[in-house]
Amino acid sequence: MNTGKKLDSITEDEIANFYSDERYAILATHEGKFILNQTMMEIHTKLDPTLFFRINRKIITSLLAVDDI
């Protein structure tokens, strides 16, 4: 992921969710948030379906981040 002038690497277990705020797709980790240059559809197609679940068109969550339903 490009964060300004450097490239950061985030592992799947660090990701809490992805969400859209109508303008941007945002990756939320347990430490912070990052704006992405991809659509939610592009993100969804690249994720491992055994680790991530698309709740609706605005939210993709990590199954590791879900404590209770």
Domain 2-65 CATH class label: mainly beta
pLDDT attached to residue 3: 52
Domain range summary for the chain, segments of one domain joined by +: 2-65
pLDDT level of residue 2 (50, 70, 90 thresholds): very low
Q: What is the model's pLDDT at position 1? A: 52
Where b means 16+ CB within 10 Å and e means fewer, 13-46 reads eebbbbbbeeeebebbbeeeebebeeebeebbee
In angstroms, the CA 49 to CA 54 distance is 9
Query: What tens digit of pLDDT does each residue of 6-56 get?
Result: 667 888 889 999 999 988 999 999 889 999 999 999 999 999 999 999 999
What is the Cα–Cα distance from 33 to 48, expressed in whole angstroms?
20
Q: Is the pTM of this model over 0.85?
A: no
Distance, in Å, from the CA atom of 69 to the CA atom of 62, rounded to the nearest integer, reads 13
